[in-house]
Amino acid sequence: MMIAGSRQLGNNIDVYLVILIEDPKILWVEGVDVYDGNLQQSFRLRAMIFCTINDFPAYENLSGYRVKGHHACPICEKDTSYIQLKHEKKTVYTRHRRFLKPYHLYRRMKKAFNGTLEIDSAPKPLSGHKVFDRVKDIISMFGKTQKKDGSDKNI
Ligand SMILES: [Zn+2]
């Protein structure tokens, strides 16, 4: 789905996503009866959205995870390595060659990257329990809210 427009939708994107939520809820909770032509029998199909593929701005929008600033990498988080460019005032994220295999060619290509070897290993992924601990108390508020002056505000 592509939503064109001059402004980011922010949390208003939930209006567009509602149709993508209701059907998967049914598929997960109740399932649907489908026919397997190969086995020539019906069965209850249950399904879930396992992952999505999107660009970083969409990732921020959908997940609520902040993908700007010095800790923008959702994997490295507080250990995100970056360089702040002096003249462009842009943030460049570095040291992601550490996600490559230990003897990957790119780890030794100093000149092609930032003049350094990459010898560190990637951070360990969070366990499911740690992820749950982080998100269990999040309160999501979707849609538009009203500013005190009556104008719409994305939250
Ligand atoms: Zn990272």
Query: How far is the centre of ligand 1, averaged over its atoms, from the C-alpha of 33 (Å)?
Result: 42
pLDDT in tens, 85-121: 888 788 889 999 999 999 999 999 999 988 999 999 9
Going from the Cα of 78 to the center of ligand 1, the distance in angstroms, rounded, reads: 9
CA 4 to ligand 1 centroid distance, Å: 29
pLDDT interval class at 143 (50, 70, 90): low
Instruction: Place 144 in a pLDDT band, splitting at 50, 70 and 90.
Output: low
For residue 20, the model assigns a pLDDT of 77
Q: How far is the CA of 106 from the centre of ligand 1 (A)?
A: 16
Structure confidence at residue 154 (pLDDT): 46
If you measure from the C-alpha of residue 132 to the centroid of ligand 1, how many angstroms do you get, rounded to a whole number?
Answer: 20
CA of 12 to the centre of ligand 1 (A): 28
Statement: the pTM of the whole predicted model exceeds 0.85: no
User: What CA–CA distance (Å, rounded) separates 3 from 17?
Assistant: 11
Residues within 5 A (CB) of ion ligand 1: 73, 75-76
Q: What is the DSSP letter of 107?
A: G
CB atoms within 10 A of CB 1: 7
